[in-house]
Homo-oligomer: A and B are copies of this chain.
Amino acid sequence: LNASLKIDFEPVGLRGPCQPGISVLECARHLGVDLVNLCGGAGKCGRCSVQIIAGDTTPLTKTEKNILSEDHIRRGYRLACETMPLSDLKVAVPPDSLTAPQRAQVESMESPVVPEPLIRLYPVELFQPGFVDLSSDFRRLSNGLTEKYGIHKLSIDVDVLSELPARLRDGKRNICVGLRQQEIIALTGPDTKPMGIAVDLGTTKIAVYLVDLEIGRVLASKGMMNPQIKYGEDIISRFMYAQASPEQAVRLWKIVIDTLNQMISGLCTDSGVLTENIFEVVIVCNTAMHHLFLGLPTESLSRAPYIPVIDSDLDVKAGKFGLKTAKGAYIHFLPNIAGYVGSDHVAMLLAVGILQKKGVVLALDIGTNTEICLSDNGRLSSLSCASGPAFEGAHVKFGMRAANGAIERLRIEDNMTTYQTIGGRPARGFCGSGILDVVAELYKAGAVEKSGRMIDGHPLIRHMDGHKEFVIAVKNSDQTKSSEITFSQKDLREIQLAKGAIRTGIETLLKANNRAKEEIGQIIIAGAFGSYIDLENAKKVGMLPNISEDRIIQVGNAAGLGSRLALASRTKREEAVQIASQVEYIELAAFPGFSTMFTEAMYMG
């Protein structure tokens, strides 16, 4: 036997040596691939499944045959804890086998796109002015571009123009001209690479990507909380804040700009890129963030029927809005669809290639508002449902965001609870996927009725101060004394409302399109929370319809990916406009039978 084999984990992109006799799970740990495992590698929880793409392994064990589905086995899935390499291996790790932090990392991975940026750089060499050639600086520049590239009828941003003399003198006669269609938006030194910034500007989280426009690849990315949270957790309270006075509206805008500039600077520094070489910005966001960013009035967005000021795509000068980029750079906003279906939804649909999908496909991005699209062979209808912030940890006593110490996976077997926390740190509360697991596992364990009522007398349920709750004993962070994390009947009702809203959205779209859930060919789940959830449990609580799991895919931050595609490719940008124009928007609350559907959707699945 070979003492040193090689193993390659994709799409994480981590690879290194491995040995026969050492499980794939151990190899993964060694290389820093954080696979989920609740049972500590005992072959019990079935959470560490991976797909063997290439190479030989030890044969399928009895344990694996019991836990893995036939379909999974046929497609090469194995439990990492039960499998040992016999040759070099290439292993694909499905998103839900990765822990949250590593999945967040995978989120910003590449999707291949043919680079077709709107901005092109043209190097030119110009002669110094003198009595022989009295042409203006701009004329010499235009003539240079005409002679070398046949480009005519150029215009120039006046702020860029003011930089022109310095670029042409002091011996710097080799310059690069950044052209956006017919407009000169930047002047840089020779050998500049054109960079772009893609932004997914969420109500809660901001993701920023630095993209090399020439090759269409992400060089670096950064995530941060949206600092507007301090002026209101939800959009309505931010609207109220902004509407109170123009100064407050400016403050709300300014804090986002400062954060974006800080993130952009950080990314540029890390990658050795100058901010002046950022030639284009694409921002995707919900319609509310869009209006707040652009300083558009939000009054009509904040009350029914939630009419946006604009839904078309829009180009504005980055400088006008205070972003630190090339002087003449634009921000491109993808189109919105409605007051509660923004360009982030369009970007998600772009990223999943919705227009190329056949059959009946559902695509949803779960958040405080969950936007769902149903494509019936390319006929698109979308809606938004108010799923609330429960899955982000709000309104749930021990709810928390996906941070270190959050329970992200939980199983109950024979009334025994096992769980896993983010970062392996002492448990402090539940993040969204943990909350979903709690509800599903309690239901499976018979501790909760189909209606959502906790069952009196069930060993997992206790009475406390007049209310019912489920409790886990946990070790405190000082590791010495035990503490309790609880999940109450009231918490459970919050989750029922949230998952019920999502399910109502799905059912409404099926009904509007006259389709049954059996006809769904694929469900695509986007967004951070949606990518972390246990699909089986999502079906168990009735959030998703009960369809075969191999027809459900989790795609991570697809809105962010969509923003990068629109940044890198003008074809993709046009496709986004096409998607937005094809979507028929459905107003959920006005849909016939809404209340009945919502009541039914509250039940366990």
Residues of A within 8 A of B (CB): 129-131, 134-139, 142, 156, 158, 161-162, 164-166, 169, 294-297, 299-300, 304-312, 314, 316, 320, 336, 338-339, 585, 587, 590
Known: A131-B305, A305-B129, A305-B130. A310 touches B587 (CB 8 A): no
CB distance from A345 to the nearest CB of B (A): 15
Tell whether, in the assembled complex, residue B138 and residue A300 are in contact, meaning their CB atoms are under 8 Å apart.
Answer: no
Q: A139, B299: Cβ atoms under 8 Å? A: no
- A314-B158 contact, Cβ under 8 Å, with A164-B309, A297-B165, A305-B129: yes
Q: Nearest Cβ in chain B — how far from A318, in angstroms?
A: 12
Residue pair A158, B316 in contact (C-beta under 8 Å): yes
Report whether A310 and B138 are in contact in the complex, using a CB–CB cutoff of 8 Å: yes
**Closest Cβ–Cβ distance, residue A148 to chain B (whole Å):** 19
Contact of A300 among B165, B297, B309 (CB under 8 A): B165
Q: A131-B587, A164-B309 are in contact. List 6 more A-B contacts (CB 8 A).
A: A137-B310, A139-B310, A161-B296, A162-B296, A162-B309, A165-B296
Contact B136 A307 (CB under 8 A): yes
Contacts of A585 in B (CB 8 A): 134
Q: Evaluate contact between B305 and A138: CB separation under 8 angstroms.
A: no
Please state if A307 and B158 are interface contacts (CB–CB under 8 Å): no
Among residues of B, the one whose C-beta sits closest to the C-beta of A338 is B134
* Partner of A134 from B129, B136, B139, B305 at Cβ < 8 Å: B305
CA distance A135 to B590 in the complex (A): 16
> Chain B residues with Cβ under 8 A from A138's Cβ?
309-312
Separation of A130 and B306 alpha carbons in the complex (Å): 9
What residue in chain B is nearest A296 (Cβ atoms)?
Answer: B162
Measured between beta carbons, the chain B residues less than 8 angstroms from A156 are 310
Residues of B within 8 A of A296 (CB): 158, 161-162, 165
Q: A131-B587, A587-B131, A590-B131 are in contact. Are A295 and B137 (CB under 8 A)?
A: no
Number of copies of chain A assembled together: 2
Please report the C-alpha to C-alpha distance between residue A204 and residue B162 in the assembled complex, in whole angstroms.
25
Tell me which residues across on chain B come within 8 A of A142, comparing CB atoms.
Answer: 312
Offer 16 A-B interface pairs, CB within 8 angstroms, sorted by A. A129-B305, A129-B307, A130-B305, A131-B304, A131-B305, A131-B587, A134-B305, A136-B308, A136-B310, A136-B336, A138-B309, A158-B295, A158-B296, A162-B309, A165-B297, A165-B300
Listed residue (A131, A135, A136, A587) with the most chain B CB atoms within 10 angstroms of its CB: A136
Tell me which of A311, A338, A339 has the highest count of chain B C-beta atoms within 10 A of its own C-beta: A311
Contact of A162 (CB < 8 Å), options: B134, B139, B297: B297
Which B residues touch A307, using CB under 8 A? Answer: 129, 134-137
Complex Cα distance A135/B308, Å? 8
- Nearest B-chain residue to A154, judged by Cβ: B312
How far is B307's CA from A166's CA once the two chains are assembled, in angstroms?
13
Assembled-state Cα–Cα distance A307/B137 (Å)? 7
Q: A-B pairs with the 7 shortest C-beta distances?
A: A138-B310, A136-B311, A129-B307, A136-B308, A165-B297, A137-B309, A131-B305
Chain B hits for A136, CB < 8 A = 307-312, 336
**Are B308's CB and A137's CB within 8 A?**
yes
Given A130-B305, A590-B131, A311 and B139 contact (CB-CB distance below 8 Å): yes
Q: Which residues of B contact A310 (CB under 8 A)?
A: 136-139, 156, 161, 164
Residues on B with C-beta less than 8 A from A300 are: 129, 137, 165, 169
Report yes or no: B158 in contact with A294, Cβ–Cβ below 8 A. Answer: yes
CB distance from A136 to the nearest CB of B (A): 4
Are B311 and A587 closer than 8 Å at their CB atoms?
no
Closest to A291 in B: B162
Name the B residues within 8 Å of A316 (CB-CB). 158
- Neighbouring B residues of A590 by C-beta, 8 Å: 131
Bound form: Cα–Cα A142–B311 in Å = 12
User: A312–B135 Cα gap in the complex (Å)?
Assistant: 11
Residues of B contacting A130 with CB < 8 Å?
305
- Report B-chain residues with C-beta under 8 Å of the C-beta of A164: 309-310
Q: Report Cα–Cα, A309/B101, bound state, in Å.
A: 52
Q: How far is the CA of A314 from the CA of B129 in the complex (A)?
A: 21
- Output the residue of A135, A309, A316 with the most chain B CB within 10 A: A309
Contacts of A336 in B (CB 8 A): 136
Minimum CB–CB distance for A359 against chain B, Å: 28
Specify the chain B residue showing the minimal Cβ separation from A129.
B307
**Chain B residues positioned under 8 Å from A139 (CB to CB):** 310-312
Question: Chain B residue with minimal CB distance to A287?
Answer: B136
| Inter-chain contacts of A320 with B (CB < 8 A) | 158, 320
- In the complex where A136-B308, A138-B310, A309-B136 touch, is A162 in contact with B129 (Cβ < 8 A)? no
Central interface residue in A134, A297, A305, A587, by most chain B CB within 10 Å: A134
Give the Cβ gap from A377 to chain B, nearest Cβ, in Å.
Answer: 25
Residue of chain B at shortest CB distance from A312: B138
A310 to B135, CA, bound (A): 9
Query: In the complex, what distance in Å separates the CA atom of A131 from the CA atom of B306?
Result: 9
Interface centre among A164, A296, A297, A307 (most CB of B within 10 A): A307
A184 to B305, CA, bound (A): 26
Interfacial chain B residues near A162, Cβ < 8 Å: 294-297, 309
Nearest CB in chain B to that of A316: its residue: B158
Q: Chain B contacts of A314 at CB under 8 A?
A: 158
User: What chain B residues lie within 8 Å of A304 (beta carbons)?
Assistant: 131
Residues in B whose Cβ lies below 8 Å from that of A338: 134
The docked-state distance in angstroms from the alpha carbon of A294 to that of B138 is: 14
Say how far A133's CB is from chain B's closest CB, in angstroms.
9
Q: How far is the CB of A371 from chain B (nearest CB, A)?
A: 15
Q: Which residues of B contact A339 (CB under 8 A)?
A: 134
Residue of B nearest to A301 (CB): B165
Give the docked Cα–Cα distance between A310 and B158 (Å): 10
